[in-house]
């Protein structure tokens, strides 16, 4: 690994560069439900008023996801910030894994296929289209073909009609060719069939806990084999279209394919199940129904003993699902590796909830240090209580340690993560989120004082939004409300941009060419954080890194 070259235009400051990642803190789109804007963030506001700043993209294509309709998350966000480039995630990653055969060499696939013995079945559940936002039929077909090659004899497919990412009444354009595909596979004792289905907005694919009855209907349909019976999926579609004039695919009612009055594909003990959507937001609830022991959202009636896997890890914070087919991308030449090769002394610190994010994910999904001599990693143990009961989390303890590190003069680069905005944001408890934001803000004030004294620079940013979007909103922007009139809580990440502030108390005109509020480059993503920090340390970023936000004179 080559060392970074010194930047002839900038030699850095006498103190360290401190990268502060405010996990889950963005600029909200709506006034109602923006707990960040609703909090007294006096220190952050003061820092912003005297610092160059801009907004960075932290979702969709800016972090390697297939479309800008997809929320960012802590894993891809820290990948992007620590690696300085955008690596494929989601659809592109799954396609590449199938093409290379990596998916089929993985332990999760081996577990799924090895479990299917005797008369047991391998079940696939997912969005039945090639829209490539949540899933792609090519992925499903490739897995069925491979399963047959590996000796699996019985496959059942539970299809969720799309009508959103593809034509709104295009269901049969997918059903008919797929039935032909299955017929071609049904040789040499292989038995593949469509077993059940329905529209994505009627069964299974709920998100944010908005309507668990959707998931319950899906469970009864796919798992229990309960529902209106039809001989074929085509018959189900045609029947519902006649009975419900104007119905579009996403709203088609549930159906069960049956023979002689018995469902052909109920899920039983000893079966395996793959949820083949790669996007996480509409995968978490059905995954919970399969995986959680103490599940209380609806009565599952029975929970068959199956080997379950998702296409990808849907929640890296909670590690859901426990088993998934496609691993995170292979990433090289990360910022941490470059800094170690250059002799830069670094500290990475957070509490348990995000410790792996400022280490493992920041380093490109790599465990361990690049240099035992130059790097210190420190984990502050999290409280084992619901986050809304300790909304301040460990931000004060993290700050205590960072203040000591700054004063010691030992480190050139310090990166820390305050989990408050994300972990408390996921609870949906608005008051707790406000408390978490204001607690974190107090720590930003403490950090600014230490940076002042040491003559360092503080870079403040986030990996994605969350606390900035705490209420569900309708298409017209109005807050959606419960029966009692209270707002519906949103517990997921947001699509909002995140801050990037450069707090440099000893600034001498080195890199600004415009007034403070327009001095940093605009339109960039959080992958630009790596090159920005490298420049502030006094080095030239690698040529293929995404550009820094700075404009050096």
Distance between CA atoms of 520 and 549, rounded to whole angstroms? 5
In the set 74, 97, 129, 519, the catalytic residue is 74
Question: The domain 91-310: what is its CATH number?
Answer: 3.40.1450.10
pLDDT recorded at residue 482: 84
Q: Are 118 and 399 in contact (CB under 8 A)?
A: no
pLDDT computed for residue 29 by the predictor: 94
Report the distance separating Cα 18 and Cα 225, nearest Å.
56
- Please report, for the chain, the start and end positions of each structural domain, with discontinuous segments joined by +: 5-88+329-540, 91-310
Give, for all 553 residues of the chain, the pLDDT tens digit. 899 999 988 889 999 999 999 999 999 999 999 999 999 999 999 999 999 999 999 999 999 988 888 888 888 899 999 999 999 888 889 999 999 999 999 999 999 999 999 999 999 999 999 988 889 999 999 999 999 999 999 999 999 999 888 888 999 999 999 999 999 999 999 999 999 999 999 999 997 787 899 999 999 999 999 999 999 999 999 999 999 998 999 999 999 999 999 999 999 999 999 999 998 888 999 999 999 999 999 999 999 999 999 999 988 767 899 999 998 777 899 999 999 999 999 999 999 989 989 998 899 888 889 999 999 999 999 998 889 999 999 999 999 999 999 999 999 999 999 999 999 998 889 999 999 999 999 999 999 999 999 999 999 999 999 999 999 898 888 999 988 899 988 888 899 999 999 999 999 888 776 566 667 889 999 999 999 999 999 999 999 999 999 876 5
Query: For residues 516 and 50, is the Cβ–Cβ distance under 8 A?
Result: yes
Burial state string for 185-217 with b = 16 or more CB within 10 A and e = fewer than 16: beeeebebbbbbbbbbbbbbbbbbbeebebbbb
Pairing between β-strand 154-161 and β-strand 122-127 as defined by DSSP bridges: parallel
Find, among 58, 56, 19, the residue nearest to 398 by Cα.
19
CA atoms within 13 A on the CB side of 328: 24
Q: Is 88 among the residues known to form the active site?
A: no
Measured CA to CA, the distance from residue 469 to residue 261 in angstroms comes to 47
Gap between the Cα atoms of 362 and 335, Å rounded: 8
The reported pLDDT for the residue numbered 330 is: 72
- 540 forms beta bridges with 5
The predicted pLDDT at position 207 comes to 79
Task: Give the C-alpha distances (Å, rounded to integers) separating 35 from 143, 363, 387.
Answer: 43, 31, 16
* pTM, 2 dp: 0.78
- What tens digit of pLDDT does each residue of 46-94 get? 999 999 999 999 999 999 988 888 888 888 899 999 999 999 888 889 9
CATH code 3.40.720.10 for 5-88+329-540: yes
Q: Give the orientation angle of helix 430-454 with respect to helix 395-408, to 10 degrees.
A: 10
Q: Which of 397, 434, 375 is nearest to 25 (CA)?
A: 434
């Amino acid at each position: 690994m080559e060392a970074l070259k010194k930047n002839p235009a900038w030699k850095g400051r006498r103190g360290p560069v401190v990268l502060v990642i405010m996990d889950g803190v963005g600029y909200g789109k709506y006034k109602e439900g923006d707990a960040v804007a609703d909090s007294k963030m006096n220190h952050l506001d003061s820092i912003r008023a005297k610092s160059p700043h801009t907004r960075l993209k932290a979702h969709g294509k800016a972090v390697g996801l297939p479309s800008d309709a997809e929320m960012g998350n802590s894993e891809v966000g820290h990948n992007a910030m620590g690696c300085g480039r955008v690596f494929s995630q989601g659809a592109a990653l799954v396609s590449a894994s199938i093409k290379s055969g990596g998916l089929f060499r993985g332990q999760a696939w081996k577990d799924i296929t090895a479990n299917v013995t005797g008369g047991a079945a391998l079940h696939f559940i997912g969005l039945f289209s090639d829209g490539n936002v949540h899933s792609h039929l090519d992925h499903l077909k490739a897995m069925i073909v491979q399963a047959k090659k590996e000796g699996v004899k019985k496959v059942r497919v539970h299809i969720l009609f799309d009508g959103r990412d593809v034509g709104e009444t295009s269901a049969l354009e997918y059903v008919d060719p797929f039935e032909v595909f299955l017929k071609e596979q049904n040789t040499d004792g292989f038995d593949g069939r469509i077993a059940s289905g329905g529209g994505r907005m009627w069964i299974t694919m709920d998100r944010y806990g908005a309507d668990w009855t959707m998931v319950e209907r899906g469970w009864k349909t796919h798992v229990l084999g309960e529902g209106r019976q039809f001989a074929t999926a085509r018959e189900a579609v045609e029947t519902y279209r006649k009975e419900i004039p104007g119905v579009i695919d996403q709203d088609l009612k549930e159906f069960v394919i049956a023979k002689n009055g018995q469902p052909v594909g109920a899920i039983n003990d000893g079966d395996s199940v793959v949820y083949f959507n790669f996007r996480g937001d509409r995968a978490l609830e059905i995954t919970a129904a399969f995986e959680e022991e103490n599940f209380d959202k609806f009565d599952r009636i029975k929970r068959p003993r199956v080997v379950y896997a998702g296409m990808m890890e849907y929640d890296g914070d909670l590690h859901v699902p426990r088993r998934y087919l496609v691993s995170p991308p292979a990433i090289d030449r990360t910022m941490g590796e470059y800094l170690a090769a250059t002799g830069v002394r670094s500290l990475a610190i957070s509490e348990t909830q995000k410790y792996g994010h400022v280490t493992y994910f920041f380093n490109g999904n790599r465990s361990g240090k690049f240099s035992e001599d130059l790097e210190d990693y420190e984990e502050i143990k999290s409280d084992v209580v619901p986050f809304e009961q300790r909304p301040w989390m460990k931000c004060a303890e993290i700050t205590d340690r960072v203040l000591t590190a700054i004063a010691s003069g030992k480190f050139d680069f310090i990166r820390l993560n305050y989990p408050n905005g994300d972990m408390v944001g996921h609870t949906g408890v608005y008051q707790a989120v406000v408390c978490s934001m204001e607690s974190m803000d107090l720590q930003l004030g403490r950090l600014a004082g230490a940076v002042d004294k040491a003559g360092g620079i503080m870079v403040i940013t986030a990996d994605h939004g969350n606390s900035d979007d705490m209420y569900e909103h309708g298409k017209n922007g109005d807050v959606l409300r419960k029966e009692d009139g209270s707002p519906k809580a949103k517990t997921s990440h947001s699509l909002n941009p995140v801050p990037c502030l450069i707090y440099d108390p000893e600034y001498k005109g080195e890199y600004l060419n415009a007034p403070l509020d327009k001095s940093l480059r605009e339109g960039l993503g959080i992958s630009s954080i790596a090159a920005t920090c490298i420049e502030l340390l006094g080095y030239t970023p690698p040529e293929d890194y995404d550009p820094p936000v700075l404009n050096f004179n």
